[in-house]
Amino acid sequence: MNAPRPQFAGAPDGWASLGEAQARWEKETRAPYLAANPEREALCTQAMRWPVEPLYTPRDLEAAGFDYLTDLGFPGQYPFTRGTSPNGHRSRLWTMTQVTGFGRGEDWAKRARFMLEQGLQGLILEYDLPTTNGYDSDDPLVAGEVGRAGMALDSLQDLERALDLPFEKLRYLMSVCNAPQPVNLAMLIAALEGKGVDLGTFGLSIVNGILIEYTCVGRYIYPPEHGLRIATDCFEYIIRHHPNWAPISIISAQLQPAKATPVQEIAFSLSIAMAYIDALLARGLDIDTVAPYFHFVINVDMDFFEGICKLRTYRKLWARLMKERYGASRPQAMQIRTLTSPTTTALTLQQPLNNIGRLAIMATACALGGAGETMSTPLHDEAHALPAEQAIRVGAAIQHIVAHETGVADTIDPLAGSYYVETLTRRMEDAARAEIERITALGGALQAIETGYFQRALGREQYQRNREIEEGRRKWVGVNHLVLPEERRELRIFRLDERIENEQVARVRALRAHRDAARVAGCLEAVRRAARDGANLVPPCLEAVRAYATHGEICAAMRDVFGVYTPDSQLAGV
């Protein structure tokens, strides 16, 4: 990296003079000021706890061996640090989305239509806990949970009701499903076909991100190696039959509630991506075909610069990994695709209006770091309750304000070259690389999951972070700083009408009574066979779904073959 030394204007010998000038400034200007005005506290970045220097100069870039062409390059070109699109957001703004659902199919549809009217173009379908755990609404284990954390999806019928939408306004639909992915995918295909939607032009995206679930969130069913096989089946199916869809979304954002640091987020999520890639390559697909399909959901937290640098680091590291480790040659294989979002973990239950400010700041950081293809705003009032309509309006407005009123999206990667931003980006990149090496040495992400490496690391961070807040070393307005002691902030659980659960239960029972039982039984047996033999699970799930086998029944058929995963507590993060 022997680039010609940049010139420090006003000095004949480059950075040495700058160093001297800085030393003089320290001694003559800053030190006297400091003597009378000591620093407030030891200042560090919020998540990484890296000490923050008072001042960054070209000397820091030199120390890091920074070189414009190697480290940054140009937008739309390797290593894509300045952006994957050649023209940033100057031609097309990011797609604006929000999380939607709850209730029954038609409740979701109603809310979805409202959101489309507010100017949103993409919707995110989330399912209730029974569904993500592979149960039907009438299973005794799930009483009280139906339709609460998301939509209840027992059968094709429910999805048909949910997708009663103006498809001309809808650009993008993402379905957040992990463990029961092949069932969910089959239902989506069947439902969209039923609505006459042109699958060739519609943008469907499935999450299919089971490996992250094992590290933190916990919505898994089957043991990790089977989880990976199932995910690979869905991925491969989409590549071969619906190449315009997005078969995976690595939601590294899920690592944040688990208190992962930015370096851990980057390293864990990229290692997980590599596990999927390796599985697909083992099936005979090649990197240039597979890599362009990867999609990441990345959240930024309140530390403004950590967030911006994280987004830039992701772009650069993905490009490097694809090229150096896998030998990718197509640019599309090296351009990371992302959905960015302010994180809900930064929002407080206390003084919720403050959250609007936080969201605006984080949305701005997303835009400055490079919002990627899509940005999603959580709602200021979300704190464990499901969305209220006013909050939806505000969330959507924040994105439009950032896009149209601030100018941050009008030039590409405006913070590039900042002494601080480039130093921090480089530091993050180096640390993330080292962590990826460590995980690779362990045998990769699957091994790390099975031995509890990720879970233990996150457990430690969780405890650390909590202590910092309790001891006041990390200030959080409303929680341990500027607290309103008399504030009685009510925890709103979104209480669904109990009738909704009862109706859903009745529905799925009625469905079972009125279908061709023999056909369903045959389809379920075919699912088991495919599970045992290693054939792709999606086609038999499609057959089963069209026969109106229920979600729970198909998941149970797979349970019969794969078993259920019960990790020990270390692996659960305790």
Partner 1 sequence: MQARSGANPGARPLRILLAKLGLDTHTVGVTVVAHALREAGMEVIFAGLKQTPEMVARSAIQEDVDVVGISTLCAGHTRSLPRLAELLRSQGAEEKLLIAGGVIPEEDRPLLEQAGVAKIFTMGTDTRAIVEYLSGWWAHRQPGNAAAGIAAAER
Partner 2 sequence: MDVVRDLLAGRIAAGARAIRWLDDGDARGRAVLREIFSATGRAHLVGITGPPGAGKSTLVAALIGEQRRRGRRVGVIAVDPSSPFSGGAILGDRVRMQRHALDEGVFVRSMATRGQAGGLSRATYDACLVLDAMGYEVVLIETVGVGQDEIDVVSLAHTTVIVMVPGLGDEVQAVKAGLLEAGEVFVLNKADREGAPQAARQLELMLHLRAQSRPASGWHAPLLSTVASREQGVGALADALDAHAEHLRRHGEFDSSRREYHQFMAALRETAAAKLLALAMQHRDTAALVAEVRGRRIDPYTAADALIARIGLKE
Bridge partners (DSSP) listed for residue 122: 97, 172
Tell me the C-alpha distance between 530 and 164, whole Å: 32
Contact 334, 291 (CB under 8 A): yes
Q: Which helix (H) or strand (E) holds 276?
A: helix 262-281
Strands of the sheet containing 374-376, edge to edge, are: 203-206, 172-176, 122-126, 95-99, 374-376, 337-342, 295-300
Q: Which amino acid is at 74?
A: F
Q: Is residue 491 within the footprint of partner 1 (CB under 8 A)?
A: yes
Give the shortest CB-204-to-partner 1 separation in angstroms: 26
Chain residues 41-100 in contact with partner 2, contact rule CB under 8 A: none
In whole angstroms, what is the distance from residue 558 CA to residue 556 CA? Answer: 5
Residue 257 contacts which entry, partner 2, partner 1, none (Cβ below 5-8 A, type-dependent): partner 1
Q: Which one, 290 or 531, has the nearer CB to partner 2?
A: 531
Give me 34's structure tokens: 């400091």
Nearest-5° Cα angle at 220, 164 to 207? 45
Q: Is 129 exposed, middle or buried (0-12, 13-18, 19+ CB in 10 A)?
A: middle
Q: Counting contacts by CB under 8 A, is residue 566 touching partner 2?
A: yes
Q: Which of 203, 218, 257, 567 binds partner 2 (CB under 8 A)?
A: 567
Q: How far is the CB of 570 from partner 2 (least distance, A)?
A: 6
Strands, E assignment, 20-109 = 95-99
- Give the pair of three-digit tokens for residue 417: 């070259």
Q: Which of 1, 491, 518, 574 binds partner 2 (CB under 8 A)?
A: 574
Out of 142, 297, 439, 508, which residue is the one contacting partner 1 (CB under 8 A)? 142
Q: Which does 491 bind (CB under 5 to 8 A by kind): partner 2, partner 1, none?
A: partner 1
- Picked from partner 2, partner 1, none, the partner binding residue 14 (CB below 5 to 8 A depending on kind) is none
Q: Is residue 352 part of the contact set for partner 1 (CB under 8 A)?
A: no
Residue 141 binds to partner 1 (criterion: CB under 8 A): yes
Contacting range for partner 1; rule: CB under 8 A; set: 45-53, 254-262, 266-274, 414-422 = 254-262
The only residue of 7, 411, 464, 569 in contact with partner 2, by rule CB under 8 A: 569
Q: Are 188 and 552 in contact (CB under 8 A)?
A: no
Q: Is 369 helix (H, G, I), strand (E, B) or coil?
A: helix
Alpha helices in 471-516 (DSSP H): 498-513
Contact with partner 2 (CB under 8 A) among 93, 477, 561, 572: 572
Stretch that binds partner 2, among 68-76, 87-95, 533-541, 566-574 (CB under 8 A): 566-574
Tokens 């001309």 appear where? 168
Query: Measured between alpha carbons, how far is 22 from 29 in angstroms, rounded to an integer?
Result: 10
Told to check if 150 binds partner 1 by CB under 8 A, we report no
- Give the footprint of partner 2 on residues 196-255 (CB under 8 A): 223
Cis peptide before 414 (omega within 30 of 0): no
Element (H, E) at 173: strand 172-176
> Are the C-beta atoms of residues 174 and 206 closer than 8 Å to each other?
yes
Provide, rounded to whole angstroms, the least separation between the CB of residue 443 and partner 2: 9
Report the site for partner 1 in 202-221 (rule: CB under 8 A): 216-219
What are the distances in angstroms from CA 26 to CA 23, 59, 84?
5, 15, 40
Cβ proximity to partner 2: between 352 and 567 the closer is: 567
Q: Compute φ and ψ for 205, nearest 5 degrees.
A: -130, 130
Instruction: Kindly determine how many residues on this chain lie close enough to bind partner 2 according to the rule CB under 8 A.
Output: 11
In angstroms, rounded to a whole number, what is the distance separating the alpha carbons of residues 343 and 306?
Answer: 13
Q: Output 521 or 564, the one with its CB closest to partner 2.
A: 564
- Residue number with CB closer to partner 2 (103 or 459): 459
Whole-number Å distance between alpha carbons of 32 and 34: 5
463 binds, among partner 2, partner 1, none (CB under 5 to 8 A by kind): partner 1
> Choosing among partner 1, partner 2, none, which partner's interface includes residue 451 (Cβ < 5 to 8 Å by kind)?
partner 2
Q: Is there a contact between 187 and 205 (Cβ–Cβ < 8 Å)?
A: no
Binding to partner 1 (CB under 8 A) within 77-136 occurs at 129-130, 133
Task: Tell me which of partner 1, partner 2, none is bound by residue 133, counting a contact when its beta carbon lies within the kind-specific cut-off of 5 to 8 angstroms.
Answer: partner 1
Only one of the segments 2-10, 42-50, 302-310, 563-571 lies at the binding site for partner 2 (rule: CB under 8 A); that segment is 563-571
The reply to whether 451 sits near partner 2 by the rule CB under 8 A is yes
Among the listed ranges 143-151, 203-211, 269-277, 359-367, the one in contact with partner 1 (CB under 8 A) is 143-151
| Residue 499 sits in the site that holds partner 1 (CB under 8 A) | no
H or E stretch at 491 = none
- Binding partner at 144 among partner 1, partner 2, none, C-beta below 5 to 8 Å by kind: partner 1
Closest among 336, 302, 330 to 318, alpha carbons compared: 336
**DSSP label at 134?**
T
Residues touching partner 1: how many (CB under 8 A)? 36
User: Closer CB to partner 2, residue 223 or residue 539?
Assistant: 223
Of residues 87, 244, 464, 570, which one binds partner 2 by CB under 8 A? 570
Which residue, 517, 555, 518, is CA-closest to 537?
A: 555
Binding site for partner 1 (CB under 8 A): 129-130, 133, 141-145, 148-149, 216-219, 257-259, 349, 384, 459, 462-463, 466, 470, 479, 490-493, 495-496, 566, 569, 572-574
Binding site for partner 2 (CB under 8 A): 223, 451, 563-564, 566-570, 572, 574
